């Protein structure tokens, strides 16, 4: 997605592209409508992220929900304001590393707990969890190759391709080559 759309996204912002593409007399305030939708979406997203982290913090600290939400909100706002987009991008990199390490630890602990690699895979097969390429074209089956590809194209394309946040990330680096990384 980035390789195809990056030259356009690097030179302008998502709202401008949408305004040019879909402008009509019937939609004079399209940018205002999109801005309001993004604000609502961002506030819900940030609220869910703060609340999810607060559940963990209240379980391991003596603080209540309100205190944790306020402290985290203030700390994240100050951190983002002082560090800018560069600090946010490096935080994303660190978060990715921590998540990958956590997933690996979780998988290793699961393999050890069930009694080894062979037993691990036999349990997966019994639960029918190892169906990588189910080519059934039925839309009523839960996980098929086609359903996964269709869902991935729409879901990840909309989240990681055309949001204002990703436009800012792309435009914050020096060159298009760096943005592709």
Per-residue pLDDT of 81-132, as tens digits, reads 888 877 888 888 899 999 999 999 999 998 999 899 999 889 888 887 777 7
Q: How far apart are alpha carbons 96 and 174 in whole angstroms?
A: 22
Q: Are 144 and 136 in contact (CB under 8 A)?
A: yes
Question: How far apart are alpha carbons 144 and 136 in whole angstroms?
Answer: 6
* Tokens (6 digits) for 63: 């603080």
SS3 state of residue 172: coil
Token readout for 101 is: 């390490």
Is the per-residue pLDDT at 59 higher than 60?
A: yes
> pLDDT for 146-156, tens place per residue?
888 888 877 77
- Residue that is written with structure tokens 């600290």 in the block: 61
pTM, two decimals, is 0.56
How many independent structural domains does the chain possess?
Answer: 1
**Contact criterion met (CB below 8 Å) for 18 and 38:** no
Return the pLDDT at 103.
Answer: 95
Distance CA 143, CA 129 (A): 10
Rounded CA-CA distance 19/29 in Å is 9
Confidence (pLDDT) at 124: 85
pLDDT at 161 over 70: no
Range of the domain at 117: 2-180
Mean pLDDT over 43-53 rounds to 88
């Amino acid at each position: 997605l980035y390789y195809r759309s990056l030259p356009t996204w690097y030179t302008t912002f998502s709202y401008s592209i949408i305004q040019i593409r879909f402008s009509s007399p019937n939609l004079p305030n399209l940018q205002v409508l999109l801005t309001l939708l993004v604000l609502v979406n961002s506030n819900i997203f940030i609220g869910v992220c703060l609340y999810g982290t607060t559940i963990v913090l209240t379980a391991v600290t003596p603080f209540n929900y309100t205190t944790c939400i306020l402290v985290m909100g203030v700390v994240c706002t100050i951190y983002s304001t002082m560090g800018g987009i560069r600090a946010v991008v490096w935080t994303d990199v660190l978060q990715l590393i921590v998540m990958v390490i956590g997933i690996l630890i979780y998988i290793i602990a699961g393999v050890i707990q069930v009694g080894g690699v062979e037993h691990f895979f036999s349990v997966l097969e019994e639960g029918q969890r190892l169906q990588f390429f189910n080519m059934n074209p039925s839309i009523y089956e839960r996980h098929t190759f086609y359903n996964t590809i269709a869902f991935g194209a729409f879901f990840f394309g909309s989240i990681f391709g055309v949001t204002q946040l990703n436009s800012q990330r792309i435009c914050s680096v020096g060159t298009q080559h760096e943005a592709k990384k």
